[in-house]
Copies of this chain bind each other. A is one copy, B any other.
């Protein structure tokens, strides 16, 4: 049952690390970083506290890895990359819906992300990690608004970013089932697309 080769061993370690990250995400998201305890996370991951420490050297380190992992997943889920170019209104709306779907799916991560960035001391430690993700994003939309010849494409893109952040924030806050997403997206289309 136990993996034999070095490769299998490495794979098993990776799987366990992900399993721990998932447990940590669940617990951090519902109790906050400080409100969560290592015991809770270990219990959620169905391993002992001691073992957890062989994968992540401290609670702080675990949070850090969790943020990296979440942002990476966010980056790879949305197909926005540095070179990507939005070609049509349809593509614009499709991309928007993708982002929202991704946040809905990873609601725990984004709730945690929001909590973390609101704490200046914590935010500083993760700013770099979010930066490239956000900048790629912004650039794609600056390009889109330039193509549309709006007066101040950068400001337009920043404001569009605020729209997304605001919608997501409100949805995470009130619960997605109660939010009239379709109607709001229709307004977004009228204003931006």
Residues of A within 8 A of B (CB): 30-35, 111-112, 114-115, 117-121, 123, 151-152, 154-156, 158-159, 161-167, 169-170, 172-173, 180, 183-184, 186-188, 190-192
Contact A183 B114 (CB under 8 A): no
Contact A159 B173 (CB under 8 A): no
CB distance from A27 to the nearest CB of B (A): 11
Contact A32 B30 (CB under 8 A): no
Q: How many copies does the complex hold?
A: 4
Contact A169 B162 (CB under 8 A): yes
With contacts A159-B188, A167-B159, A169-B169 known, is A120 near B30, CB below 8 A?
yes
Contact B123 A119 (CB under 8 A): no
Q: Which of A31, A158, A161 has the most C-beta atoms of chain B within 10 angstroms of its own C-beta?
A: A158
Contact B173 A118 (CB under 8 A): yes
Nearest B residue to A119 via CB reads B32
